[in-house]
Structures are given as structure tokens and as C-alpha cells.
Amino acid sequence: MNHQAATPKKIVIVGGGTAGWMAANLMAARWAHLGFAISLLESPQIGIIGVGEGSTPQLKSFMDALGIAESEWMPQCNATYKAGISFRNWSTTPGFTQYFHPFPAQPDDYTAPAFFHNSFVRRKGIDVEGHPDHFFLASYLAKQKLAPVANENFPFEIGYGYHFDSTLLGKFLGTKAVARGVIHKEATVTQVNLNEQGDIASITTDNGEIIEADIFVDCSGFSGLLIQKALQVPFKPFGENLFNTSAVVMPTPIGEQIESQTTSTALKCGWAWAIPLTSRIGNGYVYSSHFCSKDEAETELRTHLGLLDSDVQARHLQMNVGRVEQHWAKNCVAVGLSQGFIEPLEATALHLVQETIQGFIEQYEAGNFTTQHRAAFNASINRRFEAIRDYIVCHYRVNSRTDSPYWLENARNEKLSDSLRNILMTWVGGKNLTEELERQQITGYYPSASWHCLLAGYGIYPTQQQLKPGNDFANKYNLEKISTFIQRCGMNFKPHRQQLAHGSAPAVNPVSM
């Protein structure tokens, strides 16, 4: 239900890219009919980072909310489907050197209980199958290079994300926002002007224009032009438990078959991603500059890709990992890289953008378009950042690699939150992990299945020598029947490239904004 503002507000978004245009679209969809004036100021002098090219299933809800069909946006953004993420070589435990983090699917309701049971029993020292890849439909779809879009006669909901060219996605969303009435201006901010109360009164551009607004949205990227520089909101770095500071990226050609997964492969001082688009494979190496130089990182990535003697150009990026202490300060809301960044291991960047915008919209309305609920909003977004950070940190903390100081230092890092420490103690102590996650009230960030897949996928169990044969209770689930069930479900899905050629999922009716 929309509230009616006493006076229509003027909103200025500073910065384009995917974050800026997502904000513009959601705000216009919600408030344009109330008379709100929404404009986006984009500097032609500032480039777009353009490497966040994977999403969680939340991006589908964003497109559905705006009534944008996959058949419209996906071809324009070289997009593909994503069933989940494959993690390779993060663990050295035999039988557990790789695992798949699946997005949820309704058929998992029939198979996931067996995984929860087996992982619990195996932690108790009983020799049952505990690897997550045997229990989830998305794992099978990715392995078979099938698109996670079911045939019409398959009556189950399937969660999936996307891969896309982020630069093209930003441009596409820009055209949609302008069509909704958002005013697009090209200029560079040269000055931010504060009033006596410390709020942003206006911004001055390089063409001499002074732009006033009630709300300013900072989408200026890592520079944090409004939230950090002008309003001096402190930044909380995550460097003590997330070591990575840099990335090097380069493309490779796409093959005949297209993967329906992101691949994350652990390397010497970090990890490499592979993201398949219809036009190319996007590759990158996220690493810590404290453990290797940019030249060493580029050489390692080229070696990993078989491009050591290639003239393919590499791009080097610096990352500012952490978050601001307040995402909504005074009359400014930070969205995207200006508010914070958690390395792209689980493709959470756009998820955080979406949650921030939607959360602000809800709290701004709930407070009758005042700052009444600003503190609650900030606390909510900070909890989300912390919860995602802990899940990412866990990937590093439980690694078993010994091939470099980087991985050894990650494995012995004790700079852990109490939340993560309790999760790990619950798992290795053979206790009920779902109950612990619910006690902490964090299943809304990552569900129990995600935590189980991570910890079981690394093989964090008693050693094979310590395991004992199980009784009928331990072996109550028939793995052959589970495998057959998943394979038969898989018959309802097309090869990825065929699905893309056949046409993406149809438009849905936009949900009420």
C-alpha cells in the first residue's frame, strides 16, 4: 500500500551503473505516480567497474516487480541462466575437493531431508554419504549443463539467478527508468553543499548547475562522494577477516556448450571466477596484494586460463572491502559500492543493492517520508552485511589448503564474529545446525541448506578412518532412489544453449510496488 506524501519529494541519484539505475527504476515504480521528481546524474568522465556479472535469485524478483520479461532483457545483456556456484579446490579432503552451492528448488523438499540427516549422522562418526552434490536438483542441472527453467508441465518452482554483462544491464535499466519518467543528466559533481543542519542542500556540477533535492542517493562507487566524503560517515573495513584487496580480469571465448553455473576455483593467493555469457566467458582472479603482486596475480590467472602467451588484455582493479557505519545518513542513502562491498564470492553485490533500495523505500514510507525509521533501516542493512560477511569468511576459515602462506593464514585466522564461531562449534560438535541458525535468527540471510552445503562440501567430518558402519536408522534413505528422482526431474529441463535459443521465460504480471 502506497502512502501519500504531504509534499512530493525531489530525489537525485548521483551515479549510474547497475546500482544507480536499479534505484531509479524501483523508486520511479513506487513513487512517480505520487508526483515525486526523480533524476539521475551520471558523469561521462567516470567509467563503470563492470565486473559484478552474476546474481542470486533475487534479481528475478526485481525484474518481475518491474514487469520486465527475460525475453526482453536477457538477449540485450548477453545473459545466461545460473543454477548456482561450483567451488573447486578450496578443500583438499579426499572426495570433497569440490562441491556445488545450489539455488533452491521445490523438488529439493523431497531430497534435502536426506542430506540433513546424512550430514548429521556423519558428523556423529557414522559412514554415510555426506556430500551435498548428491541431494539437490540444481547440482544435477549444472553438471549436465541444463538451464534451470523447467518445461511448462513441470509444476514445481525452481530458483535461479543469472549471468550478464553488467555494463549492458546498466544501460538497459537506464532506458527503462527514463521511460518511467526518470530525468537523466550527464555531468560531473564538483562540489557538495551542506546546509546548517549538516544535510546535503545541493550539488554543483561541472557545467555550473546547482541541483537541490530532498533525498540524495549516493551511487558514486568506491569513492563514496556523498556518504563518505561529504557527510564523513565512517567506513568499517573487513580486512581483518577478508584478506582480498584486488582483482585482475580478462575474457575468454565461449564454447559450444554454455555452463549454467558460476565456477570459483581456489588459486595460490585467492580464487578465480568463470562466468559464462552468450558472448564470452568473464574471468577474474580475486587476490590479496599482501601475499602477491599484481604481475604475479596476472601471470597466475593467465596460466590458469591457458593464456600465458596470449595478447588478451587484462584489467586490474582495487577493492574496498567493508561497509559504511550508516547507509542512510542525514538526507543521503548510499547504494552499491558507495555503501560497502563484500568480495563477489557468492554474487551478493546486486542482492545488497536491491535490499537496500527496497528497505529504504519501505522505511521512508513507514515514517511518512521522514527520517523516523532511519536507525532501524541502518541496523537492518548492517545485520545483512555482517551475516553475508560471516558466510564468506567461513569459506576461507575452513579451507584445508597448505600450499601457500595465504591459505595457511586464512585457516588460522581467529578474527571471527561470535555468530560464526558458534556456527562452527555447533557443526564440529555434532549438534543441530538448523536450530543454531534459527536461534541466531539468521536463516533469512543464508538458509540452513546453504550452511550445510558449505560445511559438508568441504568435508568437515571425522576422518574416513574414524567412521563406523551405520545401522538401519543411519542408512534410512535410499541414495539410488534419490538419484533416480533427481534424474527424472532433470528430464524436464533443456540444454542451456537450447533454452536460450528457444526463448526465455515469459513476462509475469508485475507485483505491487
Residue of 9, 10, 82, 481 marked active site: 82
Q: Are strands 215-218 and 10-14 parallel, antiparallel or unpaired?
A: parallel
Task: Note if 294 is an active site residue.
Answer: no
Helix (H, G, I), strand (E, B) or coil at 209: coil
C-alpha cell, 229: 566524503
Distances (CA, A) of 502 to 151, 230, 498: 12, 50, 6
Cβ atoms < 10 Å from Cβ of 407: 22
| Max intra-chain CA distance, the chain | 79
Give the integer Cα–Cα distance in Å for 286 and 319.
9
* 286, β-bridge pairs: 247, 271
Beta bridge partners of 215: 11
- Residues 219 and 13 sit within 8 Å (Cβ to Cβ): yes
Rounded to whole angstroms, how far apart are CA atoms 302 and 275?
Answer: 16
Name 272's Cβ contacts closer than 8 Å, sequence gap at least 6: 264, 265, 283, 284, 285, 286, 301, 304
Q: How far, in Å, CA of 382 to CA of 417, rounded? A: 14
Q: What are phi and psi of 435, to 5 degrees?
A: -60, -40
Give the whole-angstrom CA distance, residue 388 versus residue 442: 10
Number of neighbouring beta carbons within 10 Å of residue 453: 28
Among 225, 222, 248, 249, smallest CA distance to 237 is for 222
Q: What's the CA gap between 459 and 431, in Å, rounded?
A: 16
Catalytic residues: 82
